[in-house]
Amino acid sequence: MLEKIRIVLVNTYHPGNIGSAARAMKVMGLDRLYLVSPNQFPHEDANTMAAGAEDILDKIVLCETLEDAVGDCEHVIATSARPRSHQVPAMTPPECALFAHQTPAAEEVAIVFGRERSGLTTEEYELCNKHVFIPANPDYSILNMASAVQIIAYELYQKSLTHFEPVKKEMERPSAKEMKFFLQRMEERLDDAGYFKGKPKDVTLGKLRAYFQRSLPEKAELSLLQGILTRLESEEDWQRRQQIK
Amino acid sequence: MLEKIRIVLVNTYHPGNIGSAARAMKVMGLDRLYLVSPNQFPHEDANTMAAGAEDILDKIVLCETLEDAVGDCEHVIATSARPRSHQVPAMTPPECALFAHQTPAAEEVAIVFGRERSGLTTEEYELCNKHVFIPANPDYSILNMASAVQIIAYELYQKSLTHFEPVKKEMERPSAKEMKFFLQRMEERLDDAGYFKGKPKDVTLGKLRAYFQRSLPEKAELSLLQGILTRLESEEDWQRRQQIK
């Protein structure tokens, strides 16, 4: 689902940003990186920042112009930090990800990131048929280029997990009946321990019940709690012990 | 809506990452950054990478321990690139953002990012009552720390554009510090009561801790629970009573 997507960086100034972008891509399952006339590449800063994503650097496609990089794509999506003079449809990042996934597998999708300072030229922008903007702080919207790649890649990856289920061990929950038994036993044990003396019992008990219900214990946890109740001292014994002391 | 949120970086090794994190925050409208024992700070790399977000660096709060940084927070959210052993509820980034926005304005929310290589220690993790993980490429999930901050900040900002803080009766939550105190006291009291005899103490205690963290008690409920602990019988007395019977 992510195979049809290429990330295109135009005229990147700092080679470190190329490495960071590669890492940002790889961590979200993307691996096709195109560079349009980078200032310096290859460069050791790119390798340093790639930190394990060098395989992406190794198969980078170097191009002279944006047209060389995206000419064969059905979909070319420009990115920016502000909604541009809406000449092409503007999307938010999740809309962009949804769009990318909904295009047929045989169609190529390019997502284009402009220069660090000046973005895309009008001519480059006109090669794009879609536009994604990342909503950001209006007083400071200069998103780092690799961060922008990270956000878009993140959204693409999340959408690729359509059938994602959290890796989570099934927890065994007590039945309502077991929970009720626990709460009854708690009341008996606390009564026996004189816990309610000097307290409005109904209110206090109601609060404790509500708390334990809301806490959704697992079965195993419930028996740990039962164990605690077992260890409550009876009021009688407690009184006796107070006198001895 | 974003004012109640603080970003906490634990033991950051590269000062440049601190600057990148500050920039990632500012571009998404966040401005409260806490550092727990950074390797090097202040440092020129932090300023270079902040690129316009130096105001965030200027008001950074420096702390010795994670407890110092989040002790006063009602909500402490650990981040990681994988779902951890389900001890506290795991959320995706959008769920985390929704959660943060739905907490009352008066409650403090800390989002905690661990060390670049090794994340958070178990002890640090136990201070957290929620957990957010960023789904990523299972073959390469080493998200750059500042990129992780960027993704979470991005989600928080997006939610702030569309969600309004609920007018909601405020429940008084215990702070992370008060919760830690309760858990320590629980351990002492249970130890004293011989509760752990014949049980693997670390495992049992870990489960109880995780359960009580997850249960999100209110302040009033916490003191009811404290009251129950007070009534635990010491092992000695229990033994004596067993002999009499």
What whole-number distance in Å separates Cα of residue A27 and Cα of residue B166? Answer: 35
The whole-number average pLDDT for the span B78-90 is 71
Using the Cβ of A83 and the Cβ atoms of chain B, whether some distance falls under 8 Å is answered with no
pLDDT in tens, B28-46: 999 999 999 999 999 999 9
| Cβ–Cβ gap A221/B228 under 8 Å | no
Q: Is the pLDDT of residue A165 over 80?
A: no
DSSP of chain B: --TTEEEEEES-S-HHHHHHHHHHHHTTT---EEEES-SS-S-HHHHHHHTT-HHHHHTPEEESSHHHHHTT-SEEEEEESS--SSSS-EE-HHHHHHHHHHS-TTS-EEEEE-BTTTB--HHHHTT-SEEEE----TT-----HHHHHHHHHHHHHHHHHH--PPP-PPP-PPPHHHHHHHHHHHHHHHHHTTTTTTS-HHHHHHHHHHHHHHT---HHHHHHHHHHHHTBPPHHHHHHHHHH-
Domain segments of chain B as ranges: 5-162, 176-244
* pLDDT digit string, tens, across residues A193-212: 999 999 999 999 988 988 88
**Contact A142/B90, CB-based, under 8 Å?**
no
CA distances from B111 to A39, A188, B32, B134 (A): 37, 41, 11, 13
Does residue B124 contact residue B113 with C-beta atoms inside 8 Å?
A: no
- Please work out, in degrees rounded to the nearest 5, the angle formed at the alpha carbon of residue A139 by the alpha carbons of A134 and A144: 50
Q: Chain A window 129-148: which residues touch B at a Cβ cutoff of 8 Å? A: 134-137, 140-144, 146-147
Q: Cα distance from A233 to chain B (closest Cα, Å)?
A: 5
CB contact residues (below 8 A), chain B span 25-44, against chain A: 26-29
In angstroms, the CA A26 to CA B137 distance is: 7
Q: What pLDDT, in 10s, does the model give residues A179-197?
A: 888 999 999 999 999 999 9
ipTM passes above 0.85? no
Instruction: Flag if A158 and B135 touch (Cβ within 8 Å).
Output: yes
Mean pLDDT of chain B: 90
Which residue of chain A comes nearest to B134, CA vs CA? A154
Provide the chain B residues 100-129 that lie in CB contact (below 8 A) with chain A: none
Size of interface A-B (CB pairs under 8 A): 157
- Cβ–Cβ contact B2 with A under 8 A: no
Chain B residue with minimum CA distance to A19: B144
Q: Which residues of A touch B208 (CB under 8 A)?
A: 221, 224
Mind telling me how many Å the CA of A215 is from chain B's nearest CA? 4
- In chain A, the percentage of residues whose pLDDT exceeds 90 is 58
Give B193's contacts (C-beta < 8 A, 6+ positions apart). A231, B232, B233, B234, B235, B238
Contacts of A93 in chain B (CB under 8 A): 154
Q: Tell me: the pLDDT tens digits for A107-135?
A: 889 999 999 988 998 888 878 888 899 99
Which residues in chain B have Cβ-Cβ distances shorter than 8 Å to A217? 211, 215
Chain-centroid distance, C-alpha B244: 48
Q: Are A215 and B216 a contacting pair at CB < 8 A?
A: yes
Query: How many CA atoms does the CB half-sphere of A79 hold within 13 Å?
Result: 31
B98 reaches A (C-beta below 8 A): no
Per-residue b or e along A193-232, where b marks 16 or more CB atoms closer than 10 Å to that residue's CB: bbbeeeeeeeebbeebbebbeebebbeebbebbeebbebb
Helix axes B145-162, A145-160, angle to 10 degrees: 70
Residues of chain A with Cβ-Cβ distance to B174 below 8 Å are: none
- Best A13, A224, A235, A241 member to test B by mutation, with max B CBs in 10 Å, is A224
Say whether A164 and B231 touch across the interface (CB within 8 A): no
The answer to whether A158 contacts B151, with C-beta atoms less than 8 Å apart, is no
- Mean pLDDT calculated for residue range A58-85: 86
B195: contact with A, CB 8 A cutoff: yes
A212 touches A182 (CB < 8 A): yes
Q: Which CATH superfamily is domain B5-162 in?
A: SPOUT methyltransferase, trefoil knot domain (3.40.1280.10)
CA–CA separation, B132 vs B110, rounded Å? 12
Write the pLDDT tens digit of every residue in B85-122: 556 778 999 999 999 998 888 889 999 999 998 899 98
Fold of the A5-160 domain: Alpha/beta knot (3.40.1280)
- B124-175 pLDDT tens trace: 988 998 899 999 999 998 899 999 999 999 999 999 987 666 555 567 889 9
Share of chain B above pLDDT 90, in %: 71
Residue B232 has pLDDT above 50, yes or no: yes
In a mutational test of the B interface, the residue from A30, A231, A245 whose CB has the highest number of chain B CBs within 10 Å is: A231
Task: Name the residue among A52, A134, A241 with its Cβ closest to that of B140.
Answer: A52
